[in-house]
Amino acid sequence: MDDFFADLNEKQREAAMAPDGPLLIVAGAGSGKTKTLTARLIFLITKRRVPPERILAITFTNKAADEMKRRVADALARAGMAGADPFVSTFHAFGAWVLRREAGMFGRTNGFTIFDADDVARVIKHILKNRGIDPKKMSSAQTGRLFGKIKNEFLSFGAPLGTSDDALTWELFSDYERYLEINNGFDFDDLIYKVVLAWHQDPAVAARYQSRFSHVLIDEYQDTNPAQHALCALVARTHGNITAVGDDAQAIYGFRFSDFRNFLNFEKTWSGARIILLEQNYRSTQNIVAAASGVIARNQFQKKKTLWTGNNEGAPVRVVEHADEFDQAEYIVETALLRARAGARVGILYRTNAQSRALEQMLLEKNIPYALFGALTFYERKEVKDILAALRVAANPNDQISGERLDKTFPKKITRPLREALAACTPDTAPADLIKLFLKSTQYMDVLKKEFPNYADRYENITELIYFAEQFSSLSEFLEKVTLASPLDGAPRKTQEEKSAAHIHLMTIHLAKGLEFDDVQVAGVSEGLMPHQRSLLRADDLEEERRLMYVAMTRARQTLSLHFYQIPSRFLYELPPERVVFEGDAARTVPGRTRDLDDEERYIEYD
């Protein structure tokens, strides 16, 4: 076990073995954040002898939680402590676990349904229609965004929302909350909001969880929103043994109501907090680290750190100009193919999903295999949602939204006996058996074959769902797992294997956070795309765009290329010139000539 800690560098070891009390680990990109947080968890169990069940470790994604569980289990097995399991969970899975125990406080049973984004949109449309509100004047998307603001920012009822009619919005919110209660449901945001609300309303309830967990560890703390911040503060209030790890330079989720000031103000929230900086980057070359550091240094609001690496200097960062997005796509695809053929894992990153169109078109034309992240996820596919609707009705007969989906998909002669069969199932009925009951009762495979040319692919998806369901004996546990799945979790088996085997990966920069690639090609580093035009009016938004640029650059291990057309991004001017080589469009057509970023000709349009 001591070998495990010997593998840490000095600062990682200091963080892992820090004394009790509030601790903030400021972990620069590629500095071994997960390794350090895992080491601290293992240290608490093996050296401090903290009972594993009294440790709560919270992450943002299932992938991160599963990775931490695996590392901890391996380390504890080597220490002769196999089976000692700390509570490692995502924020929302932890919230669901609490609400299964406290659902009665909100008029629900512990068999409640967790409504996903599609369900919420349908509920809001019902509410707007019942109120006679023109959807053109107040859309379900706008209303849902306001409800998300209320819950994620933990706003008091009646607080200003900045709309033209706040009073009406709060009335709609009340309608929405009543609808959820009638349907024995919570939405995704409730898994944090309602927990914090319960703990505020009844300190005795909060005390049960405060006494259960003596140590709390939080991953990616810079991404917490006010409600998540409140949850962390409440559960660790009595003992103050909270360890938060993250990097304010990678705070890029403001659009999800995340507030990186929670990270910057950690010492104000927790007096006497210890701060430890992890500044050694193990991922990237010197040129990549220096180039990314040069960009992020321009931000005013941050915890200053000096990122460095012992890796080799590597190739300069390439800045490549193109005539248009199609020229850019062709060049990126050809370059990515060369890298992939050489054995490199390539990440093609972009600011918005719309930018993938030209890239995908070029990959398809050249018949190059690739993996696309952020498209329709496995659990959003029609055949999967139809099956899950039936399972949700079996688990929660009050779920009108899922019932309506069944009614719209099948005629009454099918839904009536299906509902009767579902109602006859016991709580012990296995999820896989319920899926087979649904398929048989509805003759669903025949329905798919009649309606869809790609029915064979849909058959495969159903087979995958059954395979995954067979790993669960509890219906509520299965439904919770699939509802809380993130875009990066992918399908239960097949899609993940296909994506892992691919050499070229396409995704937005937001989805790339936490990942790394041998070669990174960043598309569209143009003014108006990155930074996005919507961010140009507020200094805070512009700083978040710069953090987004930093995240994109620090995904690269060996080589990094930044591509633009039309007006170059202001961030390209912030790159240290000694770390960059510029390859202008003119340099590829006129030998010996290279335009710099300030060339006035690029701002002139010719007829």
Residue 54 sits in a domain of what CATH number? 3.40.50.300
Mean pLDDT of 41-51: 94
My answer on whether 364 and 421 are in the same domain is no
Residues 84, 227 within the same domain: yes
Query: Is 588 within a domain?
Result: no
pLDDT at 529 over 50: yes
Verify that 573 and 505 share a domain, yes or no. Answer: yes
Residues 446 and 530 both lie in one domain:
no
* Confidence at residue 590, expressed as pLDDT on a 0 to 100 scale: 32
Residues 188-247: pLDDT tens digits? 999 999 999 999 999 999 999 999 999 999 999 999 999 999 999 999 999 999 999 999
Q: Considering the domain boundaries, does residue 506 fall inside one?
A: yes
Catalytic residue positions?
33-34, 219-220, 250, 555
Does residue 493 lie within any of the structural domains? Answer: no
Q: Would you say residue 594 has pLDDT above 80?
A: no
**8 Å CB contact between 461 and 381:** yes
Residue 68 in this model has a pLDDT that exceeds 50: yes
End residue of a domain, out of 230, 248, 278: 278
Report the alpha-carbon distance of residue 506 to residue 509 in Å, rounded: 10
Q: To which residue do tokens 């579902």 refer?
A: 422
Mark whether 383 and 476 lie in a shared domain: yes
Q: Is the domain of 302 the same as that of 441?
A: no
Q: Alpha-carbon distance 288 to 518, whole Å?
A: 12
Exposed (0-12), middle (13-18) or buried (19+): which is 591, by Cβ within 10 Å? exposed
Of the three residues 156, 183, 210, the one that is the final residue of a domain is: 183
Domain range for 47 is 2-95+198-278
Predicted TM-score (pTM) of this structure: 0.89
Whether residue 590 lies inside any domain: the answer is no
pLDDT digits 0-9 by tens, 390-423: 999 999 999 999 999 999 999 999 999 999 999 8
**pLDDT for 487:** 60
State whether 433 and 507 are in the same domain: no
Does 488 have pLDDT greater than 60?
no
CATH number, residue 415: 1.10.486.10
Task: Answer yes or no: do 259 and 402 share one domain.
Answer: no
Do 7 and 91 belong to one domain? yes
Helix (H, G, I), strand (E, B) or coil at 324: coil
The residues near 107 (Cβ < 8 Å, ≥ 6 apart) are 181
Mean pLDDT of 499-511: 83
Residues 222 and 369 in one domain: no
CB half-sphere exposure, 407, CA atoms < 13 A: 7
The domain boundary, picked from 436, 454, 484, lies at 484
What CATH number did the domain enclosing 124 receive?
A: 1.10.10
Task: Judge if the upstream peptide bond of residue 397 is cis by omega within 30 degrees of 0.
Answer: no
Report residue 570: phi and psi, to 5°: -60, -25
Among the residue ranges 77-86, 206-215, 266-275, 403-412, the one predicted with the least confidence is 77-86
* Residue 391 CA: distances (Å) to CA of 245, 384, 433, 491: 38, 11, 10, 18
pLDDT of amino acid 212: 96
How many domains is the chain partitioned into structurally?
Answer: 4
Residue 41 lies in a domain: yes
Mark whether 405 and 475 lie in a shared domain.
Answer: yes
User: Residue 379's pLDDT band (boundaries 50, 70, 90)?
Assistant: confident
- Shortest CA distance to 479 belongs to which of 562, 390, 407? 390
How far apart are alpha carbons 523 and 500 in whole angstroms? 22
39 with 155, same domain: the answer is: no
User: Does a structural domain hold residue 80?
Assistant: yes
DSSP state, residue 482: H
Is position 601 within any domain?
A: no
Report yes or no on 12 lying in a domain: yes
